[in-house]
């Protein structure tokens, strides 16, 4: 038997490292790690759609921003309590994703991508123009953060990190469970061959709708934490560059795995942070790296390894590289 690298041991090591990050890293790096965790939730929501259901969505950051706006408007403008605002924010993001889904599931492939981009851009436009609610270009700043159990304020670096860790782990476990369930199998069927699935009597459009709504909820959770980290929500949160960051994170990690989404998010967030501290031209460099990833690394960092999976698993878990998605 080939020496297998045990997922259990790897998982324990990762968990141990993740739980002790604030002990051995400085404040700034903990903040970056928190940011990475938040982005990794959005990226997982992207991977759920792109890698498992064959829909490349550029609208995930719009769901993220929607949750942020609900928190901003609710807590800052209307002084509502967090117990009300947080569920409402996730609900708002889910609702927006349902609205986008009703329009976008009619399209496939590149057309779907284009549709989600148009919807996300329109969302950004609304956030920009509807100034009496969203405060226009500047957005809503100085949003307060909750204090958990009367002890840990999420304004502080370490509690927020652990909140991010718990939420990321929760989303990961939830999505993993979901993808392993019969519903998850249907998602993959939608990716592999929608026509055959439809011929077998499955309602393909319904599964695509469900996938988008679930992804919207996950992105919404990330959006809540995102606004707790920055304290600001503005239209540019939903812009194309943010969407590209998510796509990049997914591509770097390999579109076909949830673990890849997390790894890719860490790589991407740290990469952007490092380059932006070195040069004001960092978007040029990030863009060049993104381009290089698309050209040279279509399967991502974790993608190649997938080919070595057990055969029975491979039957349903064919690698969905950016390349494989394109059919």
Partner 1 sequence: MNNTFLLIMNGLTYGALLFIVSSGFTLIFGLMRIVNMSHGVFYILGAYVSYTVQSKTGNWVVGTLAGTAAVGLMALIVYQLINRVNGDLPRTLLTVGIAMILADFCLWAWGGLPLTLQAPAQLRRPVILGSFIYPGFRSFVLVTAVVIGLALWVLLHHTKFGAIVRAGVDNRWMVAALGINIERIFALTFLLGGLLAGFGGAIGGSYLAFGPGTDFIILTYALVVVILGGMGSLAGSAVGAVVGLVDSFGRTYFSELAIFLLSGTLILVLAFRPQGLFGRPG
Shortest separation between residue 24's beta carbon and partner 1, angstroms: 34
Task: Tell me how crowded residue 42 is: count the other CB atoms within 10 A of its CB.
Answer: 30
Residue 269 makes contact with partner 1 by CB under 8 A: no
Q: From the list 130, 180, 181, 313, which residue makes contact with partner 1 (rule: CB under 8 A)?
A: 130
Q: Does 138 bind partner 1 (CB under 8 A)?
A: no
> Which CB, 22 or 260, lies closer to partner 1?
260
Q: How many CB atoms lie within 10 A of CB 208?
A: 25
Among 25, 107, 178, 198, binds partner 1 (CB under 8 A): 107
Tell me if 259 sits within 8 A of 5, measured CB to CB.
no
Binding mask 148-187 for partner 1 (x = CB under 8 A): ----------------------------------------
Compose the 59-98 pattern: x for residues touching partner 1 by CB under 8 A, - for all others.
Answer: ----------------------------------------
Where are the alpha helices (H) located in the chain, listed in sequence order?
Answer: 7-24, 27-53, 60-71, 82-104, 109-129, 131-134, 157-180, 182-192, 194-199, 204-230, 240-253, 258-278, 282-296, 311-316
**Shortest Å, Cβ 244 to partner 1:** 5
Number of residues that this document lists for the chain: 327
What is the rounded (10 degree) CA torsion for 155, 156, 161, 163?
A: -50
Identified binder of partner 1 from the candidate list 183, 198, 232, 240, rule CB under 8 A: 240
Q: Considering the complex, state which of residue 18 and residue 118 has its C-beta at the smaller distance from partner 1.
A: 118
Q: Confirm or reject binding of residue 291 to partner 1 (CB under 8 A).
A: yes
User: CA-to-CA distance for 120 and 99, rounded, in angstroms?
Assistant: 12
Which member of 19, 241, 278, 307 binds partner 1 (CB under 8 A)? 241
Question: How far is it, in rounded angstroms, from Cα 165 to Cα 160?
Answer: 8
> Tokens representing 303?
């993608």
Q: Supply the minimum distance, in Å, between the C-beta of residue 207 and partner 1.
A: 18
Q: Is the dihedral of CA 124, 125, 131, 136 positive or negative?
A: positive
202, 65 in Cβ contact below 8 A?
no
- Block residue for tokens 């860790």: 165
Contact status: 261 vs partner 1 (CB under 8 A): no
**What are the residues binding partner 1 (CB under 8 A)?**
56, 103, 106-107, 109-111, 113-115, 117-119, 121-122, 125-126, 128-132, 239-241, 244, 247, 251, 281, 283-284, 286-288, 290-291, 294-295, 298, 322-323, 325-327
């Amino acid at each position: 038997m080939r020496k297998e690298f045990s997922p259990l041991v790897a998982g324990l090591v990762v968990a141990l490292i993740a739980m002790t990050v604030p002990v051995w890293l400085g404040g700034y790096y903990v903040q970056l790690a928190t940011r990475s965790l938040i982005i990794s939730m959005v990226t997982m929501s992207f991977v759920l759609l792109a890698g498992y259901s064959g829909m490349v969505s550029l609208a995930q950051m719009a769901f993220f921003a929607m949750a942020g706006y609900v928190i901003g408007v609710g807590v800052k403008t209307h002084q509502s309590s967090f117990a009300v605002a947080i569920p409402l924010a996730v609900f708002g993001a889910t609702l927006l994703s349902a609205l986008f889904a009703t329009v976008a599931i009619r399209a496939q492939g590149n057309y779907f991508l284009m549709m989600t981009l148009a919807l996300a851009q329109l969302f950004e436009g609304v956030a920009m123009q509807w100034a009496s609610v969203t405060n226009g270009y500047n957005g809503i700043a100085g949003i307060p953060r909750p204090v958990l159990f009367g002890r840990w304020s999420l304004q502080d670096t370490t509690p927020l990190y652990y909140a991010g860790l718990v939420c990321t782990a929760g989303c990961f476990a939830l999505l993993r469970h979901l993808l392993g369930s019969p519903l998850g199998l249907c998602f993959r069927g939608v990716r592999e061959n929608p026509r055959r699935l439809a011929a077998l009597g499955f309602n393909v459009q319904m599964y695509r709708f469900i996938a988008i709504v679930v992804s919207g909820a996950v992105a919404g959770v990330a959006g809540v934490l995102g606004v707790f980290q920055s304290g600001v929500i503005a239209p540019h949160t939903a812009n194309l560059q943010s969407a590209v960051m998510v796509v990049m994170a997914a591509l770097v990690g390999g579109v076909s795995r949830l673990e890849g989404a997390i790894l890719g998010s860490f790589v991407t967030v740290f990469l952007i942070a490092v380059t932006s501290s070195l040069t004001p031209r960092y978007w040029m460099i990030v863009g060049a790296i993104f381009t290089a990833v698309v050209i040279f690394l279509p399967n991502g960092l974790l993608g190649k390894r997938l080919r070595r999976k057990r055969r029975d698993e491979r039957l349903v878990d064919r690698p969905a590289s950016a390349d494989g998605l394109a059919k």
